[in-house]
């Protein structure tokens, strides 16, 4: 007198989707952290800042 056996497919698919999304989030966090760590710029000296400023001012005049 047992009822219909319950299918485990839905549970397995749900677990796989959840694990996949978690893995994607983790990879994104690690990639963002690595990119942030690699994009370190040295401080600019006054001469370099002046050149950049002048170049930007010249570009705005056009």
DSSP H helices in the chain:
9-38, 46-61
The average pLDDT across 24-47 equals: 84
Q: In this prediction, what percent of the chain has a pLDDT beyond 70? A: 82
Prediction pTM value = 0.49
Q: What angle do CA 54, 60, 62 make, to 5 degrees?
A: 110
Tens digits of residue pLDDT in 6-33:
788 999 999 999 999 999 999 999 988 8
């Amino acid at each position: 007198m047992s009822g219909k056996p319950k299918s485990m497919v839905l549970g397995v698919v749900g677990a796989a989707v959840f694990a996949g999304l978690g893995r994607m989030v983790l990879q994104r966090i690690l990639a963002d952290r690595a990119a942030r760590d690699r994009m370190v710029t040295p401080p600019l000296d006054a001469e370099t800042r002046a050149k950049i400023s002048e170049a930007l001012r010249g570009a705005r005049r056009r």
